[in-house]
Amino acid sequence: MAKKTFQVEILTPEGPVFDDVVEMVSTTTSVGSIGVMANHTPLLAMLDACELRLHTESGIKRFAQGEGYIQVGGNHAMILVEEALPAEKLDRAELEASLAKWQAELAATGSDQEAGRVAARNVNRFEAFLKIASGD
């Protein structure tokens, strides 16, 4: 018996990343991990930087997902994120350099709360992306 599918779009500020049917979406919201399948209850949630997995008939497509939002309704999911990079294209050395840069930036923020918030968010993002690149 074939599994039910539904339409998923992944959009970033640079443009569309994915627009096809899937059997399931696995991601992490600000309150925990979720799985979305066909005919899911309507949902609007904030997304954390994590591994996004799209379960398709041909296998699992993995992405490094930046922060954003997911909206589910009408057998359709729209994922709006800062970035969505195919896991196989992640460059570990580049990610490590970016993480080191943002860790130094975080240490140097002092009393600037906004700069500290931005640096902490980027540290979390690059730590999550490194885990994905390592296959953890």
pLDDT at 21: 97
56-81 confidence digits (pLDDT tens):
999 999 999 999 999 999 999 999 99
pLDDT class of 4 with cuts at 50, 70, 90:
very high
Q: List, in order, residues 6 or more apart from 99 with CB less than 8 Å away.
A: 123, 126, 127, 130
Q: How far is CA 72 from CA 51, 82, 93, 133, in A?
A: 18, 18, 35, 28
**pTM higher than the cut 0.85:** yes
pLDDT at 3: 81
CB atoms within 10 A of CB 3: 11
Tell which phi-psi region holds residue 102, choosing left (phi > 0), alpha (psi between -120 and 50) or beta: alpha
Residues 101-120, mean pLDDT to the nearest whole number: 89
Whether 109 has a pLDDT exceeding 90, the answer reads no
Q: Considering only the top CATH level, what class is 6-87?
A: mainly beta
Pick from 6, 130, 12: which is nearest to 68 by CA? 12
pLDDT class of 11 with cuts at 50, 70, 90:
very high
Domain boundaries, the chain: 6-87, 91-134
Mean pLDDT for all residues in the chain? 93
Question: In this prediction, what percent of the chain has a pLDDT beyond 90?
Answer: 86
